[in-house]
């Protein structure tokens, strides 16, 4: 029953986010700030992780393709499929649940502890719209981050495969183009948009409705990370069944 209560409050929160909109000029400034904090601030760690994940995928694929009958271009093919379909949209989103999710929960939770949210309500401002809506809009830029992660992952696979001596450059490029299905990119970005919405709203829920003092802010951040990750993994399974089956 406790979880059902939280689920109900989550959807009521979403209803409150999209009602009584804050003044446009104020929201615009808030959105640009959130883009800087949530999107631009995540590019560095995203590129770093994606590059080395792609490299590891290429190396592991090469080490397991020890049959001389199998062409070396399969290393590039497997790396491309792994990065585009799963590692870039899902794995990076789980990492972002820790980075972006903790930031969102702690920032809103700190405002709750210091009664800044109460002050917004007293001034007649819809605090949910003021605090959460700019984060949702900013996270609409999240597919841009994942697109860069895909590029970095494939680049990492190329560097590891070619300069590691596992596959010639021409074979890698040939495998990279082998049986490419454009719909796989559509599938990946559909997942990414849904994950972006979850990354913006679930941590906001835990921060907005937390109770207690400074100690509880840390607990709320941990809880937000756990539940955001769980929901992303479940959503990933459901979307894969719906879109690829």
Query: Residues 6 or more apart from 127 whose CB is under 8 A from it?
Result: 117, 120, 121, 208
pLDDT value, residue 222: 87
| Residue 102: HSE in the Cβ half-sphere, 13 Å Cα cutoff | 11
Span 166-216, pLDDT tens digits: 888 898 898 888 888 889 999 999 999 999 999 999 999 988 888 877 778
pLDDT value, residue 1: 53
Q: Is 174 within 8 Å of 83 (Cβ atoms)? A: no
Residue spans per domain, the chain: 23-244
- Most distant CA atoms of the chain, gap in Å: 73
User: Consecutive sets of 10 residues in the chain, 245 residues long: mean pLDDT of each?
Assistant: 77 86 85 90 91 91 79 87 90 90 90 85 86 91 92 93 87 86 91 94 90 80 90 93 86
Distance between CA atoms of residues 161 and 56, nearest Å? 9
- Which among 49, 101, 134, 129 has a CA at the least distance from the CA of 232? 101
pLDDT value, residue 72: 83
Distance between CA atoms of residues 48 and 50, nearest Å? 6
Place of tokens 């049959």: 67
Q: What is the four-CA torsion angle of 50, 55, 57, 58, rounded to 10 degrees? A: 140
pLDDT value, residue 52: 93
Rounded to two decimals, the pTM is 0.90
Q: Is 132 within 8 Å of 34 (Cβ atoms)? A: no
């Amino acid at each position: 029953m406790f979880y059902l209560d939280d689920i109900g409050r989550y959807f009521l929160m979403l209803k409150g986010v999209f009602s009584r909109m804050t003044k446009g000029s104020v929201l615009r400034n808030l959105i640009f700030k959130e883009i800087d904090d949530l999107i631009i601030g995540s590019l560095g760690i995203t590129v770093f992780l994606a590059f080395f994940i792609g490299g590891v995928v290429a190396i592991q694929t090469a080490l397991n393709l020890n049959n001389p009958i199998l062409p070396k271009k399969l290393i590039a093919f497997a790396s491309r499929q792994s990065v585009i379909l799963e590692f870039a949209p899902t794995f990076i989103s789980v990492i972002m649940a820790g980075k972006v999710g903790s930031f969102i929960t702690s920032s809103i939770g700190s405002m709750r502890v210091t009664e800044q949210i109460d002050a917004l309500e007293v001034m007649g401002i819809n605090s949910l719209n003021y605090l959460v809506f700019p984060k949702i809009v900013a996270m609409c830029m999240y597919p841009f981050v994942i697109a860069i992660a895909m590029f970095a992952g494939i680049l990492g696979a190329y560097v590891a495969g070619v300069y590691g001596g596992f596959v010639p450059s021409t074979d890698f490029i040939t495998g990279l183009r082998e049986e490419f299905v454009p719909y796989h990119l559509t599938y990946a970005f559909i997942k990414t948009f849904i994950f972006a919405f979850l990354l913006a709203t679930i941590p906001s829920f835990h921060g907005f409705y937390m109770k207690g003092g400074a100690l509880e802010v840390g607990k709320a951040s941990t809880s937000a990370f756990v539940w955001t990750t769980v929901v992303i993994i479940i959503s990933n399974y459901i979307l894969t069944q719906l879109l690829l089956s």
